[in-house]
Chain A
């Protein structure tokens, strides 16, 4: 359950002041380049930060992040009202799949998983390739273009909203607006109302989903959306869970996949030697993508809730604290990735944390990976001279508080 009958705000005992780090985890500085912090934190015990007046813990080591993302008895995914995480409530309190622990999580995930299995995704491979090629020809004609707004975002909208969910193009802005509005929640203090622009975008998506549900009840279809709606009719999920699942499904990949494509391209363009290596030897594609995903995780942190006192690497975590599991820092743990700050497309890293871990492992990664891979592969092949228009351009980062989504990257391809 996500809603509690009573609000329980545990009192956190006094914490060792020496374990606090004075840092804004969501600053533009960290979003722009988290590597100095991650290199510092990835082989250290957890530490504390103050957020909205409450102490939070930050976990960075690879094994500790994996543990925290999988030990639900100690570290729960279920939001706890009053613990100070209002600014992380991106879906307006709806019971979304990622905010459940097993076995409830499994019940909801089973509805979405069939859409993203290896075999199912393979059916979209040709469509992905074609869409990427079409986008490439559009930017080729320009000579110079903005990677997020003129390539990655429209590509992912066409792929997910057009090809995957088959929404009419005139309806796409409803989902795109909501995806953009998610970051407005980042500045909401505990207990404060959400910004009106966010609520407008949320209400529009909600209303659209109501329409889909009504229409599908009149004309049932045996597909992903039809099965989710049928689950509510059959009593497997509640009406709120139905809306939560549909909204996450329709919007969850828009910013994340396009942001990841942008991060990968930016990384390669900032390392022309590695870019050339890839262009000269296309067999390096898979390890190159994996290395891009390792060194530039779109999600810096995933938050969880300490529901049982525990000690990690000598550091006490108390019930009532929010934990930030740093997937980004986990990818810099030198025990797993020697010389982690070095971008090396021949590294072929395994077991990266970018898509999360355990039962909450990103359900859409099977579709995200080919979209990222084909974008990068085809861009660097089609444009031997692809480069940053201005290597000194200031890249602004958006996305949710915990994410780093590049909003502008000017590229030249002529």
Chain B
């Protein structure tokens, strides 16, 4: 099972196993990872599962869709080059070990 490494605001790290096809948001929600809220359940609607993907992993992800791109402009924390919505990152074996940094804020 591919692993996801979440880097949290308090400096700690959670390493969690994902099923292929599960999203970075779903795995976080199922394991109570703090800082990823995922209000809408993973449908690219709320912008509360924003993560910063580790640089070396960005190029392995498909480009954001129109809706993800628009929502990333409006997330609570600053949008950076490697910002993505966790609900849109579906795990594959190739993403085993992906690192995501959880931003300080998801909503107001």
Contacts and interface: CB of A to CB of B under 8 A. Distances in A.
Nearest to A119: B74
Interface in A349-374: 350-351, 355, 357-359, 361, 363, 365-366, 369-370
A369 B70 CA distance: 22
A125 interface: yes
A118 B106 contact: yes
A110 B71 CA distance: 10
A120 interface: yes
A120 B43 contact: no
Contacts of B73: 119
Contact of B46 (A106, A114, A351, A365): A365
Contacts of A350: 29, 32
A113 B76 contact: no
Interface in B64-105: 67, 70-71, 73-76
Interface string A276-301: 00000000000000000000000000
B23 to A, nearest CB: 14
Interface in B7-32: 29, 32
Contacts of B41: 66, 70, 351, 357-358, 361
Interface of A is mostly: helix
A114 B70 contact: yes
A252 to B, nearest CB: 16
Given A114-B70, A357-B41, A366 B46 contact: yes
Given A106-B67, A119-B75, A365 B108 contact: no
Nearest to B50: A118
Contacts of B108: 118, 121-122, 125, 366, 370
Given A106-B67, A350-B29, A351-B29, A358 B107 contact: no
Given A106-B67, A114-B70, A350-B29, A119 B76 contact: yes
B67 A110 contact: yes
B75 to A, nearest CB: 6
B47 interface: yes
B55 interface: no
Contacts of B29: 350-351
Given A119-B74, A370-B108, A358 B43 contact: yes
Interface of A: 66, 70, 106, 109-110, 113-114, 117-122, 125, 350-351, 355, 357-359, 361, 363, 365-366, 369-370
